[in-house]
A and B are shown apart, each in its own frame.
Chain A
Amino acid sequence: MADLAIDPRIELNPTLVQGGMTYADVSEKISAITENKPPKQWYYLITISSLMTVMLFGCLGYLVVTGIGVWGNNNPVGWGWDITNFVWWIGIGHAGTLISAVLFLFRQKWRTSINRAAEAMTLFAVACAAIYPLFHTGRPWRAIYWLFPAPNEYLHLWQNFRSPLEWDVFAVSTYGTVSLLFWFTGLIPDLATLRDRATNRVRKVVFGILSLGWRGSASQWRHYELAYLILAGISTPLVLSVHSIVSFDFATSVIPGWHTTIFPPYFVAGAIFSGFAMVVTLMTVARWVYNLQNLITIKHLENMCKVMLATGMIVGFAYGTEFFIAWYSGNAYERFAFLNRAFGPYWWAYWTMLTCNVVSPQLFWFKKFRTTPALMFIIAIFINIGMWFERFVIIATSLHRDFLPASWGYFKPTWVDIGTFAGTIGMFLTLFLLFLRFLPAIAMSEVKGVLHQQIEEGKGNH
């Protein structure tokens, strides 16, 4: 294969495992994170994030005993931060499946070092997202009857299957289930590695059970790879369907600013945009704390920056199209809704959104910004903020100007809104830190597959 080696500048197969790491180094480096005591930064972070999680439970408890009036939701703004946060979290959950499934089908080898953590993020983000609609019902213990078609004599309820909110329940729970299966399937060979390396009984038993009797035989690998491919095929349409259905929550209505046909693909692009921003936010930090520079290389980060640039442009394109068609429609309500977005009482939210989502990713045109972790971390934070504001702008600005001026209003968050939102960030970070501590954060077996190819091509690391 050495004759395929050509000018390194076009990177036919970029060196994705650097620093001359061997197979053993890969296992050692990644397993050691779960086997040794974590660095002190980990303790600082989890202390803060657990306290925030406690605050989340406090806020939710207060909401349950008092009622959802403790949120700032009002009439006409019946959906406030709750649905904003729901959509934001679901969006963040999109990078995992995109990296694992879509990039797998596109044979993008650079996915291998980041897919595991991104999938874990997906699961945690979906968990955070689920809190909001569940607690918006006010009585979450009854939500099973409202959300799922569970037979009951208790409330004599039957779900409204014509409602996109109901479709959402199925879309998100399907997505969560498939993502979990996909994540776990990918983990099996790595869990077996941890089992085989275990030096104490507890680890041996726990990882022994979790690795489902994996022996690494050729037939097991064959089945495993087929299962992985099929799961990737099943997950790929889910990347599109979940956020399309989330967008239906808005777009099936007749509210100016919500009812627009470009919503489904625009929401999907936005979801991928925000998902990658969150992956970059967390992975640049994890890479630095755990010294993973040889596995999560600048090439990985640069590719993620390019994805953010591309999806950011699609989002910007959708903003532009919406604005143009609002004018083109000649419809006074459409025109008002969009002018009001930009220059009405929520102008500050709109321009924050535009600056963070459309202006800041333009910096990724410059290689310097795509290859400097500190800079991309900052831009990724901006994108996280921008994508939150996007949902807030869509929800609040379209609702606060009702059709009758007498019903106009304004949404102000309460301390419970803020506490709940900050709390879910804490819960997300806590879960992610626990994941880093106890499970292999990088897919060892897949990285070794990439390394194998690299060695065959003569970029060997023996």
Chain B
Amino acid sequence: MAHTHSQETDAYFVPLRTWAAVRNAILFVAVLGWIGALAGYATDPEHFFWSYLVAFLFSISIAIGAAFFVMVQHLTGSAWSVTVRRLMEALMRTLPAFLVLFAPLPLGLHYLYEWSRAGAAKDPLLKLKIGYLNEQWFTIRGFLVIGLLSLWALVLYAKSRKQDDSGAVRLTLSAERWSAPGVLMLFVGSSIVGFDWIMSLNPRWYSTMFGVIFLAGGAMAFMAVIIVLCLWLRSNGYLVHSVNTEHYHDLGKWLFMLMVFWAYVSFSQYMLIWYANMPEETIWFKNRFTGSWLYVALLLVAGHFIVPLFAMLPRAVKRSRGALAFFAGWLLLMHYTDLYWQVMPVFYKSGFGMSWLSPVCLVATVSTMGLVFWSSFREKPLVPVGDPRLKQCLAFHNA
């Protein structure tokens, strides 16, 4: 454990000029993205809302994954992850922005959700659910869940930032206390929004596993984002010593594990529905195997599970920054594909289709998230410098 000196050699602050340059770049992309998205909304609202829904889900699932992971780190008192925790916290801190990013969705419910259209009240099955699936409740639940998640995100972020200056151990203990009910709230909340935002696109269909799959996919994508962010900062000369091969190895293990967990819950859902073979349940998969959607489904089986399962298993892959960057990027693409495959077959019924608005909306939501994320580092450290476990993290070694 001779690495304790390394902390002196890393710069924890991004110089203001560099910071502003990056901020301006993100801002530029965000402005372009939103101009495109607004143009889409004005000219083709239907495609806009479908594209926007997937982009929104992709972004918020990562932020929810971040909140989940930060709270788990507090609960387990993890030392290995301290040097990457501020990046996680900054991602988590984007949650309040989703109160704004969510706002367009209630305006386009009629385009997206069958239950919000006129005929629903007369449908014998849907009318049974109208007490839950209605515009008011959908909107309230969305804001409520994002609001609660944001509250926890801001509280935990504030504590961590405060510790940068004071180094008070009491803040670590208090973050731990907040995290226990926080994880519970996050589980229930993300499950509810998983049901609301994706599952209710097919309002007759139901699966108890659905919320878990949403959370699992988001957690995996979050881990991929963290790896990409660390490597990006590293390539610019930041966090070179404080996030070393040992930390990348652990991040890689987590990415692998969450990928497998996603596959486990997704397969369980598929297997049980396939085996029982009841038409009201199998229809969900049947619609998603129609035409070219089948190839998307097969791509998910191979690309979201089988290939990374074998390719990421060797230790050397998780300790190689190049390989890790590739798989993190690839799995992010797969996460988007997964959400796209869950949502879009409701719209493109006969086979795969994509509007130009899909990438544009994705750029808009992700760059907005990026702006909030990056604002956390204006003259503020990239690492929780006051954390009592920081020294241990810097000295950490994989067994």
Contacts and interface: CB of A to CB of B under 8 A. Distances in A.
Interface of A: 1, 3-4, 6-7, 9-12, 106-107, 229, 240, 244, 248, 251-254, 259-265, 313-314, 317-318, 320-322, 325, 328-331, 365
Identify the interface centre among B76, B276, B388: most chain A CB within 10 Å of its CB.
B276
A264 B391 contact: no
Contacts of A259: 272, 276, 278
B4 interface: yes
Contact of A328 (B76, B172, B206, B391): B206
Nearest to B395: A4
B1 A1 contact: yes
B187 interface: yes
B310 interface: no
Contact of A12 (B79, B188, B268): B79
Q: How large is the interface on B (under 10, 10 to 19, 20 to 34, 35 or more residues)?
A: 35 or more
Given A259-B278, A321-B211, 15 more contacts: A6-B391, A9-B173, A11-B77, A229-B399, A252-B275, A261-B208, A261-B268, A262-B207, A262-B208, A263-B208, A263-B272, A265-B268, A317-B187, A317-B188, A328-B129
Interface string B229-266: 00000000000000000000000000000000000110
B193 to A, nearest CB: 14
B195 A328 contact: yes
B392 interface: yes
B4 A262 contact: no
Contacts of A248: 271-272, 275
B298 interface: no
B388 A7 contact: yes
Contacts of B125: 330
What's the dominant secondary structure at chain B's contact region? helix
Identify the interface centre among A244, A260, A328: most chain B CB within 10 Å of its CB.
A328
Given A3-B4, A4-B392, A328-B206, A262 B79 contact: no
Contacts of B212: 262, 265
Given A261-B272, A317-B187, A322-B208, A12 B388 contact: yes
Contacts of A317: 184, 187-188, 191
A114 B34 CA distance: 56
B132 interface: yes
B321 interface: no
Given A10-B173, A11-B77, A313-B184, A328 B132 contact: yes
B389 interface: yes
B269 interface: yes
A261 B128 contact: no
Nearest to A309: B180
Interface string B265-307: 1001101110110101000000000000000000000000000
A330 B129 contact: yes
B93 to A, nearest CB: 23
A404 to B, nearest CB: 18
10 contacts: A9-B169, A12-B77, A106-B76, A261-B208, A262-B208, A265-B264, A314-B187, A317-B188, A318-B208, A330-B204
Contacts of B126: 330
A4 B210 CA distance: 44
B209 interface: yes
A253 B208 contact: no
B272 A252 contact: yes
Given A11-B77, A251-B272, A322-B208, A107 B391 contact: no
A254 B129 CA distance: 22
Contacts of A330: 125-126, 128-129, 204
A316 to B, nearest CB: 9
Contacts of B276: 251-254, 259
B206 A7 contact: no
Contacts of A252: 271-272, 275-276
Contact of B278 (A4, A240, A254, A314): A254
